[in-house]
Structure 1
């Protein structure tokens, strides 16, 4: 339950018992309460949607480890703040749990696939509420080259000659609502067709109902036959017209819009991650922000 706490000159709220597993079964009650104050914080309507979808901690499933000492909602808010505002880990505001504990949470969810699991549950909820089946049958693929920060080593960065960008490339597959089905981060000099073979294989292994994938002209050639023979997917290339005027191309605009959504979270404006797996996790967290806000808007308010 949420309650209001009066503060001289300020009206705000705290979370004395958010009913997260850390509060109910862990040691979170031993730490101070956090007052929500940032736009990226999980609102009550969002938390009502998010809480039942959170993965169960390993220590509750007999896999070892210790109960969390910090509220799950506070930890989530810290990760959301970092992704949305593009700060350094060590610059995490003091009203959040310590930055190393937040990073340990981020790393654990990244390495054990929990961020993907959480993301996919949210995506299913968004699709169902939009009147779609939870599993998609069609998708769109594209790539986006972004500059890499100085912390990115030379072994995981490259030069995209077409876009004249020294950095990394995000390869994404989205459904017809623009929601993420899969992402792979590579050096910027990796070709779209080369990365698509790996990424589409991963997506097809998870989404068994997928039948059709739209792509731009960069995915022509042997990839079309490979998708048909190896993945049982129809890869349909949507080519540009000879007209020099700008026109919105059918289906391709969907993935371009998703790329624009990703760039709205400042952590993704440039690649700051030393590991490509961290860069991929940041993409999932960006989409988690978008989907929780969307679900909160659609969540029926109590009478």
Structure 2
């Protein structure tokens, strides 16, 4: 750790101990030809990614006492493309589930989508308009377990039907684990999702809304995905989609949940932007 004053988003020593093995293993697989260990500490690179995720700042607005934007970008994109962000995220998810006295992988997931506005400059070819919610942008799609931990994430144009989102998520869940047997979805998901679930060995149940309910009424078990969406909104980089590539948007979700899970594993909290 450098001698700089820490930011609230920084990993504590205890949290870094959770993250460090994955980063060290990655470094071992990417040795420098000259034997050079790199100019910047990996912990500071991770802290810079978490800082940007939490504050929503542009690359060039990263604080001067952190590694330069070019170095942070390099690792963010490389870890995204090589799946290191996924490896780190999954390791913490397994550890947190086991800490909560559950098996490492779930048997049930909950699926949902959230349409997000995009920033100026995001390629129009990767966006669309959600006709139902009247939102132009992208659709963030999550499959979470009963603890609200992300098992699969997909980012699509907002114009994509929930069927497309559901099929992508079920495929992601099946690729992650063979333990999931049931998925709960809302009425936006249709028969095609149920049929795809059968193909990958997952029973998809469409949870019907009670017609007598007025306004927003949380549905048993399905509410947990709404809670996860709400938690992600504390990470300002996720409030609006700033990423040119959907793969980067997906990576942002993984990093946000990595921050969440590292804090839950170590019993730490971080002040929300609502805190006075």
What TM-score comes out, normalization by structure 1 length? 0.84
Note if contact 1:227-1:233 (Cα within 8 Å) is conserved in structure 2.
Answer: yes
Q: Which of these residues, 37, 59, 63, is aligned with residue 6 of structure 2?
A: 37
TM-score by length of structure 2 reads 0.92
1:61 aligns with 2:29: yes
Report if aligned partners of 2:139, 2:155 keep a CA contact under 8 Å in 1. Answer: yes
Residue of structure 2 aligned with 1:49, choices 13, 18, 32: 18
* Correspondence for 1:152 among 109, 122, 135: 122
Aligned residue for 2:255?
285
Q: Return the alpha-carbon distance in structure 2 between the equivalents of residues 62 and 150 of structure 1.
A: 36
* C-alpha displacement of 1:110: 0.3
Is the contact between residue 213 and residue 233 of structure 1 (CA under 8 Å) also seen in structure 2? yes
The structure whose RCO (Cα within 8 Å, separation 6+) is larger is 2
Residue 217 of structure 1, aligned match among 157, 168, 187: 187
Could you tell me which of 155, 159, 172 is aligned with 1:202?
172
Query: Could you list the per-position Cα deviations for residues 212-267 of structure 1 after superposition, in whole angstroms to 9, with x for gaps in the alignment?
Result: 00010111223212311x11110011111011334220111011111111111000
Q: CA deviation at 1:49?
A: 2.5
In the TM superposition, what is the alpha-carbon distance from 1:98 to its structure 2 partner?
Answer: 0.9
- Give the C-alpha shift of residue 121 in structure 1: 0.3
Structure 1 position 250 matched with structure 2 position 227: no
Shift of 1:205: 2.0
Residues in 1 aligned to 2:264 and 2:188: alpha-carbon distance in whole angstroms: 32
Task: Tell me if structure 1 keeps the 8 A contact 2:111–2:169.
Answer: no
Q: Any runs of at least 4 consecutive aligned residues in structure 1 with deviations exceeding 4 A, and if so which?
A: 62-66
Match of residue 41 from structure 2: 71
CA RMSD in angstroms, aligned pairs only: 1.6
1:297 aligned residue? 267
Distance 1:85 1:165 in 2: 23
Task: For residue 56 of structure 1, give the secondary structure of its aligned residue in structure 2.
Answer: helix
> Max radius of gyration: which structure?
1
Using the TM superposition, give the Cα deviation of residue 193 of structure 1 relative to its aligned residue in structure 2, in angstroms: 0.6
After superposition, the Cα gap between the structure-2 partners of 1:162 and 1:137, relative to the gap in structure 1 and judged at 3 Å, is same
C-alpha distance in 2, partners of 1:291/1:212? 24
* Count of residues in correspondence between the two structures: 265
Alignment of 1:186-197 (within 5 A): 186-197=156-167
Question: Aligned partners of 1:99, 1:84: CA distance in 2, in Å?
Answer: 16
In structure 1, the residue matched to 2:71 is 101
Contact 2:56 2:235 in 1 (8 A): yes
Do 1:34 and 1:95's aligned partners in 2 also have CA atoms closer than 8 Å? no
Alignment CA distance shift 1:54-1:47 (3 Å): same
Q: Determine if the alignment matches structure 1 residue 111 to structure 2 residue 81.
A: yes
How far 1:54 sits from its partner (Å)? Answer: 3.2
Which runs of 5 or more structure 2 residues have no equivalent in the other structure?
269-276
For structure 1, which runs of at least 5 residues remain unmatched after alignment?
A: 1-14, 16-32, 299-303
Provide the C-alpha distance between the structure 2 equivalents of 1:202 and 1:257, rounded to a whole number of angstroms.
21
The question of whether the paired residues in 2 share the 8 Å contact of 1:55 and 1:118 is answered with: no
The question of 1:165 aligning with 2:118 is answered: no
Q: Say whether the 8 Å CA contact 1:156–1:276 is kept in structure 2.
A: yes
